[in-house]
Structure formats: C-alpha cells, structure tokens
Structure 1
C-alpha cells in the first residue's frame, strides 16, 4: 500500500549552499501522500466532500543525507495505520544511486467538519475506500493490515 513520485529538485527549493531547505522535505512528503490518497479514491477534496478534515497532528523527518539542486529523487509514501488515524511513512531516494536520503512520517486524524470534534476512530468512509483498493487486499481477498 504505497505510492511513488519522482521529483527534480528546483533551484527555488535550495539554500545558498545548493542544499534543499529542511522545510521542503515535508512538501515532498505531501506530493507522495496526495498520490497515495488519489490511489484509493479519498483525496483531500473527497475528504472534505465526505464531511471530514484530516489535519496533520504530527510529523517527523530524519535528514540522513542532504538533497541538492537538480538532483532527481523518488519519494515513497507507505500507508502504515488507518483504524484510528492515518500514519504514513516516507522514504526519499536518489534516483541515480538508489541511496536512501531521508525518512519520516506524518500522522493525521479525522475531524468532523460539522461539529469540529476529533474522531477517535477513522470514519467508515475511509475504511470503505480502502477496502475497494486492490492494494489493500491480499490474494485471498481478505483485508490486510500491513
């Protein structure tokens, strides 16, 4: 249950030493996260239409190796938890060497947009969308919990 995106690092993402500014790593995570959400049919517009917001309540980034201007990277987003929250792990690789450069995660929770209350269990719509996603099913058709 994963998505991958490739990104060419633009000049406007780097600092005076041609290294990506640390805040942009979360942007790269978001690009991969949006791809992942699109794959199972519950992107941010669909979340809003279903009556829920999914704010990020926690993020973590481990900067193992700097990313530089014009470098080509692959960002992988992997859905790890979904019952009570969305926890997505990320890994960033150099496309040429395949060396892992960065890892991290984000955690999101559902908030009912009508009441503005936090949901302590993921809404049924999320589970319905996941169960329709082929990547969520193992070969026997049973729901898997990665």
Structure 2
C-alpha cells in the first residue's frame, strides 16, 4: 500500500541559505503518512475513536540531497509492516527530475487509550481496516 503527495516548499520551511531545515522532513513524512492512512480509513481521528493512539516511537531520515525554497517535491509513503507495529517507509523525489532526495521511515505502535498500555500486536481494528481496503481494491480490479 502506497500514497504520495506533492509539496511546493514554502519560504517559512527554509533557513537563511534557502535550504529546508532538517526537522521539516518529518513534517513532509507526516503529510504523506496521513494520505496513506486515509486510504484505508484509519487516520488519527479513526484511531482515537477506536480506542487507540499510535505514537511514533522511532524515526530515521537519510538526507541525501538538500531541498530548497520553491522546489516541488513528491513524497511517497509505503506501508511496510502492520502486524505488530506500523512501519512506513518514505522517499522524497524532486518533482521535475525524479531524483531521489531523501529516504527514511517511521515506526508507530498501538497504545490503548483507556489504560495507556502498549499493545504488542496490532489491534484487530487495524487489521480489519486493511482487509476491507484490500477486498475493495480486489473488487475494483474486476
């Protein structure tokens, strides 16, 4: 499962050298992650309503090439793991050249909101949403 977004880098995201400040890359990952989660109807509001929070517990960014003011980028988020945690991989490409600029990943785990207990496996609600999405895609392909 994969989603992508196009972002036009705003001036307020860059430093005095017009290069994107390193912390904003995680924001771009988040924008693509929300697009991905929307695909199977389990974004943050649905997570909360189902009784779970999904905090990011780990993130990694590999800054291969700087991103600059007014550059158009394509951010791709790919769901890699979901059984015991959500692991989402990201790649950022220059929109015009398709050169890969950055890659990384985030890991999220389910925490039951009622008692703040960490779940060591993904709750059934996530698996149900993914299965429904998969079935919808299979029917759409027919």
Runs of 4+ in 1 over 2 A off after TM superposition: 134-139
Asked if 1:31 corresponds to 2:31, the answer is yes
Cα distance change on mapping 1:113 and 1:71 into 2, 3 Å: same
TM-score after normalising by structure 1: 0.92
Q: Secondary structure at the match of 2:118?
A: coil
Return the offset for 1:137: 6.4
Cα distance change on mapping 1:99 and 1:36 into 2, 3 Å: same
After TM superposition, list the pairs within 5 Å mapping 1:1-146 onto structure 2: 1-134=1-134
Residues 59 and 107, structure 1, Cα contact 8 Å, conserved in 2: yes
Return the offset for 1:134: 3.3
CA shift digits 1:71-115 (9 cap, x unpaired): 000000000000000000000000000000000000000000001
TM-score after normalising by structure 2: 0.95
Structure 1: which 5+ residue stretches go unaligned? Answer: 140-146
Structure 2: which 5+ residue stretches go unaligned? Answer: none
Residues 130 and 136, structure 1, Cα contact 8 Å, conserved in 2: no
Greater per-residue helix proportion = 2
- What is the distance in 2 between the residues matched to 1:28 and 1:136? 28
Aligned length: 140
CA shift digits 1:39-79 (9 cap, x unpaired): 00000000000000000000000000000000000000000
Q: Secondary structure at the match of 2:120?
A: coil
Q: CA RMSD in A?
A: 1.7
